[in-house]
Structure 1
């Protein structure tokens, strides 16, 4: 996607793309980070304009849409990320910050899992924005999340998490077979590191990866790299697109994962 600051327009476009994915035969679909709202650097809280003050998760418009879409289209929808003013335990996030939450809905509209982004993007980048300070508007999560689906055990992550291999090793050790990576990598950092990091996380853990990325010019100061990809445990890129909106699909075969893990049992061979 190439989301902007108009929530209604972003949701309408996400719905159109989900229909395309369903028409292509998809059963599990990942939306990119901040798919419902992406503003300039310094305004990272993806749902701040409409989520604050929501008395319950059911009244959050993005969650309501995800529930409806998953039931209507018969899809498992992985949505990363949605900014929520409540933590997973129901307590409120103090001050003006929110949580950047990855939400997984099954095909009956039930939210099966939530992961709150642990690593926040507080860095200096040689682009038009210059400085990114996610922690100004987002409170970090503190708990890795794996969850079972009819196809595989998913390890959930969001964007900047990709630079921290210890998270993915813990997810794999907990049983993850498929990493989900919604992202909005900057064009500068994505061009340099995005695909290298994705393939490394897949290879070193023997896991599939589905990585859905924002890709394009969102505003004068905000351009993302895109290059959404689906990667197998050998590091082979099964599907990829560049910048712009669209849908990519691939069939993930469990026997390939099992063969790779049997021939190269990295998780059982580690010494540290």
Structure 2
């Protein structure tokens, strides 16, 4: 339905360049939604939550963070903290300490309005990631 999605995994969240939004006048934005599927323990939950919000703001996109809940085989606890964040960094959904199935409607017109109002993406430097 016209949504472009970028899927990333766990540790990728620590490296903003992997999620760096690129804009091309012909192609427009590379993606509209970033999804992180992760296994972040509770002791790093502050970083998890802060970095998800940062990726949403800096890339002007929705961010969905899906994280593990409960103790693993090494008795390390995972608090979940699964979230949906809008392009301004506002938390639309947050679930801590329990499993959940949740449905939310993301609004493309809101996303486009934010990108139109805050056009800082026009000032970003071009770059390439090389192996």
Place the TM-score, normalised by the shorter chain, in its bin.
0.7 to 0.9
Distance 1:256 1:246 in 2: 26
Segments of structure 2 that go 5 or more residues without pairing to the other structure are: 23-28, 127-131
Distance 2:103 2:84 in 1: 8
Deviation digits for residues 181-211 of structure 1, max 9, x if unmatched? 1111011112x31110000000011000111
Instruction: Give the 4+ runs in structure 1 shifted more than 2 A.
Output: 218-222
Greater fraction of residues in strand? 2
SS in 1 for 2:93: strand
Aligned twin of 1:209: 63
Distance 2:35 2:10 in 1: 10
**TM-superposed deviation, 1:219:** 3.2
**Contact kept? 1:230, 1:239, Cα under 8 Å:** yes
Aligned twin of 2:43: 188
Aligned twin of 2:16: 165
SS in 2 for 1:267: helix
SS in 2 for 1:239: strand
**TM-superposed deviation, 1:220:** 4.6
**TM-superposed deviation, 1:218:** 2.5
Segments of structure 1 that go 5 or more residues without pairing to the other structure are: 1-149
Q: Could you state the TM-score of these two structures normalised by the residue count of structure 2?
A: 0.84
| Paired residues, number | 120
The answer to which structure, 1 or 2, has the higher relative contact order (CA under 8 A, 6+ apart) is: 2
Match among 214, 221, 225 for residue 79 of structure 2: 225
Distance 2:98 2:85 in 1: 20
Distance 2:72 2:98 in 1: 11
Q: Could you state the TM-score of these two structures normalised by the residue count of structure 1?
A: 0.42
Distance 2:84 2:99 in 1: 16
Counterparts in 2 of 1:212 and 1:257: CA distance versus 1, 3 Å = same
**Contact kept? 1:204, 1:266, Cα under 8 Å:** no
SS in 2 for 1:250: coil
SS in 1 for 2:88: coil
SS in 1 for 2:63: strand
